[in-house]
Amino acid sequence: MAHGNIDVFRKIKHFPYRSLRLRWQKLLLEYLLENLHPKKISLFKKLKNFLYSNYKDGFYVRAKPNVVSNVKLAVNYTIRYTGRPAMAQSRITNYDGEHVTFYYENHENGERVEETIHVFEFIKKLIIHIPDECFKMIRYYGLYAKKHKFSNLIFKMLNDIQIEIRQSLRKWRLSIELSFGYDPLQCSCGKFMTFWDIFVPRKQPIATTGPPAV
Q: What digits encode the pLDDT tens for the residues 87-123?
A: 888 899 999 999 999 998 887 777 899 999 999 999 9
Q: Are 80 and 88 in contact (CB under 8 A)?
A: no
Three-state DSSP class for 135? coil
80-104: b or e for each residue (b if 16 or more CB lie within 10 Å)?
eeeeeeeeeeeeeeeeeeeebebee
Question: What average pLDDT does this structure show over 41-69?
Answer: 83
What pLDDT was estimated at residue 98? 94
Please indicate, yes or no, whether the overall pTM of this predicted structure exceeds 0.75. Answer: no
Cα separation, 67 vs 75, in Å, equals: 9
- What does the domain layout of the chain look like in residue ranges? 13-63, 67-143, 156-208
Name which of 104, 93, 20 is nearest 62 in CA terms: 20
Q: Side chain identity at 169, as an amino acid letter?
A: L
| pLDDT digit string, tens, across residues 59-96 | 988 776 665 567 777 777 777 776 677 788 889 999 99
- Residue 212 in this model has a pLDDT that exceeds 50: no
E strands in the chain: 2-3, 6-7, 92-95, 99-105, 112-118, 197-198, 207-208
Q: Side chain identity at 34, as an amino acid letter?
A: E
